[in-house]
Amino acid sequence: MVKPKKVTTHVLQEMKLHGRKIAMITAYDYSLARIIDSTGIDIVLVGDSASNVMAGNESTLPITLDQMIYHATSVVKAINRALVVVDMPFGTYQGNSKEALCSAIKIMKETGAHAVKLEGGREILESVGRILSAGIPVMGHLGLMPQSIHKYGTYVVRATEEEEAGKLINDAQLLEKAGCFALVLEKIPAKLASSVSASLKIPVIGIGAGRDVDGQVLVLHDMLGIIQDFSPRFLRRYHNLYEEIKGAVQNYTDDVKNMNFPNEKEQY
């Protein structure tokens, strides 16, 4: 079998240069990551959204470094082509750049992933710089930053006011200058995202940031319709897996109870 050409940070840079859109999606386990990688997806994000969709927490704050490493290790084993990026969880990089470097090194050493993602702008610049100085590629994340939910108080669209938009533009430039290879913009006005993307050389990946950016990212369980009680405007559901899984398991349960499973051919 011919091995697929691997996506690197340089490939992503080329894609931006030539106007080719970048597709990114989350994954948290081996089985689904294998399916995802076979589609030609460019970036697989082991997101700290695992805290919500895998662990059932209300926010991304509780997930630990070791839990992220567990998810990322499983995903990396399944990936042949995509670039694997791992979210650095809350509390592992803010405020202490030495701790940030140790956390990033632990992720890279123990998972085999290719890059890390951090939320924030100028406040975390020292951590970003220190991680980059160790040769670890960093993806930035601005706009709605779920790790700061208790500061915002709500998940509404960010940077609609001039002051916050100005800070975001500034932070995006700082992150590019520091050496980040890409930037995620979450839930901000499309016009703002478009102008940030146009002003940066690095790829800008949007989620709820309109179409005029360099790529898109969605949370796998949301776009597959496994999670039903989350339906922001930006989310396109490509399937209704909740109903499909429910139907299949319902049939199995009924078959067991009615002694329709196993049949004679399904035994030894």
Which residues does the annotation mark as catalytic?
Answer: 186
* Cα 72 to chain centroid, rounded: 11
The verdict on 220 binding ligand KIV (CB under 6 A) reads no
Contact 184, 26 (CB under 8 A): no
Give the contact letters, 46-85, x = binds to ligand KIV (CB under 6 A), - = no.
-xxx------------------------------------
Member of 87, 171, 176, 214 binding ligand KIV (CB under 6 A): 87
Read off the amino acid at residue 236.
R
Near ligand KIV by CB under 6 A: residue from 217, 221, 224, 227: 217
d(CA 85, CA 80): 14
- Residues in region 100-129 near ligand KIV by CB under 6 A: none
Are 6 and 47 in contact by the 8 Å Cβ rule? The answer is no
- In whole angstroms, the minimum distance from the beta carbon of 77 to ligand KIV comes to 20
**207 binds ligand KIV, rule: CB under 6 A:** yes
In 108-208 the beta strands, taken as DSSP E runs, fall at: 115-119, 138-143, 182-186, 204-207
Report how far residue 171's alpha carbon sits from residue 162's, in angstroms, rounded to the nearest whole number: 14
Cβ-contact 207, 43 below 8 angstroms: no
Closest CB to ligand KIV among residues 52, 97? 52
Identify the residue among 9, 22, 25, 26 touching ligand KIV (CB under 6 A): 26
Residue 197 binds ligand KIV (CB under 6 A): no
Q: Which residues bind ligand KIV (CB under 6 A)?
A: 26, 45, 47-49, 87, 184, 186, 207, 217, 219
